[in-house]
Chains A and B, each alone.
Chain A
Amino acid sequence: MIDPVFALDLIKILLVLIVLSAALIITRRDFIALTSLYAAQSFLIVLLSVGLFAIDRNPLLLIIAAITLLSKVVIIPFILTKVQRRLKMKREIEFSHLSPIGAILLAVVAFFFIYALFSGILSGLDKGVLSTVVSLAICLVFMGLIIIFTRKQTITNVIGYLTMENGVLLFSLFVAELSLLIEVLILLDLIMLIVLVALMAFGIDSSIEEFHSQLNVLDRWLGREQR
């Protein structure tokens, strides 16, 4: 049995590291580093849900940790790395709207407002560290949004989207766990989305014919090539 105070401290540290990983994602520009940062961030979330399990003893948390580990630490980074190998572009060349510095300062401002908003709303519902956690999770969502807004390359946009999604997952871990079926469906949906967007990123990078032959993987699975 883990001491709950210690577990709570551990969870706080993990949360802080998760936000740190998002801050690093905002400033980095080479795809490989971004993908590994995302994998690390997801792994921290896995640890976090295991930590929460130590407090809550809700077996759903362990299952979520397991499927997150499988999908976000292994499968999605694998897909992204595979796509990156085939792209000509290896890093983000220019930023739109904001430089990373501006982006990070914006994240700070966003966090301030989110914190003010949520500590106001949640003050009635006493659940320990809830308002801190909720605002950190929503801050992560906004940081992902900022990444999407300030980057031009599709792959970095995907990383931004995934960061947002991690924020939502974090939020749901602390506020309310939905049922298992729904969590699994959401992950499947996420993987489909990543595959499709990765294909399109490849399409922008190469010719339209190559893109369409990639898009028709469906036919190849059935073993028949249509002319």
Chain B
Amino acid sequence: MIFLLLFLVGAAVLALVLLSRSHRVMNVLSLAHATAYVGIVAYALARLPLPLHADGSDYLFLDHLGAYEILVASVVFFLAALYLEGYIESLIRAEELPKRNLRLFYVAMNLLLIATAFSFASDNLAVFWIFLELTTLFSAVLVVTLNAKENIDVALKYIFIASTSMLFSFIGIILLFFLSAQATGTGTLEWSALMLHAATFSPALLLVSFLFILIGFAAKSGIAPFHTWLPHTHAKAPSAVSVVLSGAVVNMGIYGILRVFAIVHQTSALTAASWFLIGFGIFSVAVASLSMLRQRNTKRIIAFSSIEHMGVILVGIGIATRTSVFWSLAYVLAHSLAKSLLFFSAGIINRQYESNEAEDVRDIFRLQPLASLGLIVGSLTIVGMPPFLLFLPKLFIIIELGKVSLLLFFLLMLFLLIAVVAFGAFMMRLFSAVPEAGKQERIPRFPVPAKMSLTLAILITLVLALGLWFPSYVQHVIDAIVTELRF
């Protein structure tokens, strides 16, 4: 039922977008699409007995983890849709986005939401893989709608890195299928069945399969050394698209890794797999924090911080204790919200100065007070300052790492500190730029449309409120997930 409903809503919205002529209608449709998804999944999470299998199809199901991820993604899409109208209008006025691409843009946006939701709802690894590939394609389309040739290069780079890595994942998936065929007679790729039989798999082959799968999923979430596409793509995409990419699409790779790791977790391959995850995680944090030191571009530094945070989440999953996995999942939510706030603010700054370079920014407090507030709150959140949302997840993951190895604990702390310094220094530079004395610069103020301001206000409130009071309901859901995954 749920799946049919999700599909029908998606299909109806797509059809209406294709028929509609005005930007406003398309925008309202997308907004309705995301709202409907939030509603449906929230209802399923609250009222229906999970895990829920689709009637008549072996390929779809919904458990707590899937529902939680869909919810996070749909919220991000909802905020992006809210923000999108004013932003896109401004792009069209500046001739950065040709008007005839508008419909294509909205079609790709809604397709991306459908593919994201269904990837989290697929019970079959191969189907999940296919949806993951589709999200790459739709994201690439979103990136190339802008009037810039570099965007084609960037999108191609994204497609090639993501798709080639995903081919390695597919090898791993076939190996997993082979393993399950050995254990059960007829092979299966269903998450639930794999979880059931995992204990009988050959650990050595399972580890090889896990590593192959890891390559592709890590590339999708921008884990170093497969991250090279991410800063370019997120920086060149329109800001609302960057939000969707960082807030929703990047999570899919981590989700896949978590699922497969939960399978490996039940065998003796656990220790090796866990070290690989921690290693890749810390390496990502290191690469990202060191690259952040020399960034001069607002959106690029935010994009690099995505890599850093994916690294921390990976470390959290790799530690593989109940606590660390719990906080990794909370981290996913926190990161999506904080990153959305940052990219939305960066989008307003981009419209104000028509550039993402820090050196073009002048007098930001006077011209864009709300975006400045958004950037400050977002930065404080993203570096993990106490009253905000990201503080507790980060703290607990680091503490759990300390229990595993003190050396790695200090290493991670060092790189996180470098990231804080880099982020702080960048923001200082951004905010302290005033018009040069004597030379009178008159920059016309970009009038921020009400819906864009509303988006920022919602996010600032959410980040602060959730940081002070993390709802027990969400805690229950995450607890249920951790139990389902048998950590």
Interface residue? B126 (CB, 8 A): yes
Contact between chains at A157 and B155 (CB < 8 Å): no
5 nearest interchain CB pairs?
Answer: A176-B178, A182-B126, A203-B152, A176-B177, A172-B174
In the assembled complex, the CB of B229 is this many whole angstroms from the nearest CB of chain A, namely 13
Interface residue? B274 (CB, 8 A): no
Q: How far is the CA of A167 from the CA of B182 in the complex (A)?
A: 23
B82-99: CB near A (< 8 Å → 1, else 0) gives 000000000000000011
A residues less than 8 Å from B137 (CB atoms): 189, 192-193, 196
Q: A176-B187, A203-B152 are in contact. Are A141 and B171 (CB under 8 A)?
A: yes
Interface residues of B in 185-211 (CB under 8 A from A): 187, 189, 202, 204-205, 208
In the assembled complex, the CB of A35 is this many whole angstroms from the nearest CB of chain B, namely 18
Q: How far is the CA of A172 from the CA of B168 in the complex (A)?
A: 12
In the assembled complex, the CB of B180 is this many whole angstroms from the nearest CB of chain A, namely 9
Given A178-B177, A182-B130, A196-B141, 18 more A-B residue pairs with CB atoms under 8 Å apart are A121-B208, A144-B164, A167-B167, A176-B177, A178-B174, A178-B187, A182-B124, A186-B130, A189-B134, A196-B140, A197-B159, A204-B149, A215-B104, A215-B141, A218-B104, A222-B18, A226-B21, A227-B100
Q: How far is the CA of A85 from the CA of B156 in the complex (A)?
A: 20
Interface residues of B in 148-189 (CB under 8 A from A): 148-149, 152-153, 155-156, 159-160, 163-164, 167-168, 170-171, 174-175, 177-178, 181-182, 187, 189
Q: A204-B153, A208-B147 are in contact. Are A219 and B187 (CB under 8 A)?
A: no
A residues less than 8 Å from B205 (CB atoms): 121
Q: Which of B99, B107, B147, B177 has the most CB of A within 10 A?
A: B177
Identify the A interface with B (CB < 8 A).
Answer: 121, 124-125, 138, 141, 144-145, 148, 154, 157, 161, 164-165, 167-168, 171-172, 175-176, 178, 182, 185-186, 189, 192-193, 196-197, 200-201, 203-204, 208-209, 211-213, 215-216, 218-219, 222, 226-227
A-B contacts, 19 listed (Cβ < 8 Å): A121-B204, A138-B171, A148-B160, A148-B164, A168-B167, A178-B187, A192-B134, A197-B159, A201-B156, A211-B152, A212-B145, A213-B100, A215-B144, A216-B101, A216-B104, A219-B100, A226-B99, A226-B102, A227-B99
Interface residue? B127 (CB, 8 A): yes
Contact between chains at A218 and B177 (CB < 8 Å): no
- A137's nearest neighbour on chain B, judged by CB, is B171
Interface residue? B484 (CB, 8 A): no
In the assembled complex, the CB of B302 is this many whole angstroms from the nearest CB of chain A, namely 25
Q: Which of B133, B153, B171, B202 has the most CB of A within 10 A?
A: B171
Contact between chains at B174 and A176 (CB < 8 Å): yes
B residues less than 8 Å from A203 (CB atoms): 144, 149, 152
A residues less than 8 Å from B171 (CB atoms): 138, 141, 168, 171
Contact between chains at B155 and A200 (CB < 8 Å): yes
- A205's nearest neighbour on chain B, judged by CB, is B152
- A202's nearest neighbour on chain B, judged by CB, is B152
In the assembled complex, the CB of A157 is this many whole angstroms from the nearest CB of chain B, namely 6
A residues less than 8 Å from B149 (CB atoms): 203-204, 208
A residues less than 8 Å from B148 (CB atoms): 208
Contact between chains at B152 and A200 (CB < 8 Å): yes
- A224's nearest neighbour on chain B, judged by CB, is B21
Contact between chains at B126 and A218 (CB < 8 Å): no
Contact between chains at A165 and B126 (CB < 8 Å): no
B335-357: CB near A (< 8 Å → 1, else 0) gives 00000000000000000000000
Q: How far is the CA of A124 from the CA of B203 in the complex (A)?
A: 13
- B101's nearest neighbour on chain A, judged by CB, is A212
Contact between chains at A215 and B101 (CB < 8 Å): yes
Contact between chains at B98 and A212 (CB < 8 Å): yes
Interface residue? B103 (CB, 8 A): yes
